[in-house]
C-alpha cells in the first residue's frame, strides 16, 4: 500500500470510494472490489445514513493472506449489500 495511506488514522471511517483511492491509487482495485468483499463477509463495514464506510485497518486486513481461513458455508445466505442499500446492477 502507498505511503499516503500512513497519513490517515487506521481507525478513521472512510467512504468506499475514498478507501479504494487511498489503498490503490493506481486504480487496480475500486469501490466494487470493496463492496464485493463486504458482501462476502471478508471486509467489515459500518452503515451510516445508508452509506457504507470502512477503516484502513479493515482494508489492510483484507489484503493480508489468510492462512487456514475457513470457507463460508455455501448454504448460508446473506442479504447483499447492494440490495440492502437499494442499489441494483448497472446495465
pLDDT in tens, 2-52: 566 678 899 999 999 999 999 999 999 999 999 999 999 999 999 999 999
Can you give the pTM of this predicted structure? Answer: 0.67
pLDDT at 75: 43
Q: Which grid coordinates belong to 46?
A: 459500518
Check residue 27 and report its DSSP letter. S
Residues 16, 62: Cα–Cα separation, whole Å: 14
Question: Contact at 8 Å (CB) between 35 and 68?
Answer: no
Amino acid at each position: 500500500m502507498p505511503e499516503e495511506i500512513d497519513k490517515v488514522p487506521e481507525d478513521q471511517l472512510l467512504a468506499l470510494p475514498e478507501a479504494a483511492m487511498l489503498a490503490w491509487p493506481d486504480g487496480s482495485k475500486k469501490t466494487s472490489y470493496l463492496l464485493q468483499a463486504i458482501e462476502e463477509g471478508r471486509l467489515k463495514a459500518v452503515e451510516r445514513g445508508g452509506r457504507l464506510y470502512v477503516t484502513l485497518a479493515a482494508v489492510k486486513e483484507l489484503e493480508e493472506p489468510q492462512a487456514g481461513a475457513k470457507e463460508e458455508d455455501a448454504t448460508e445466505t446473506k442479504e447483499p449489500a447492494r440490495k440492502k442499500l437499494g442499489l441494483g446492477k448497472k446495465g
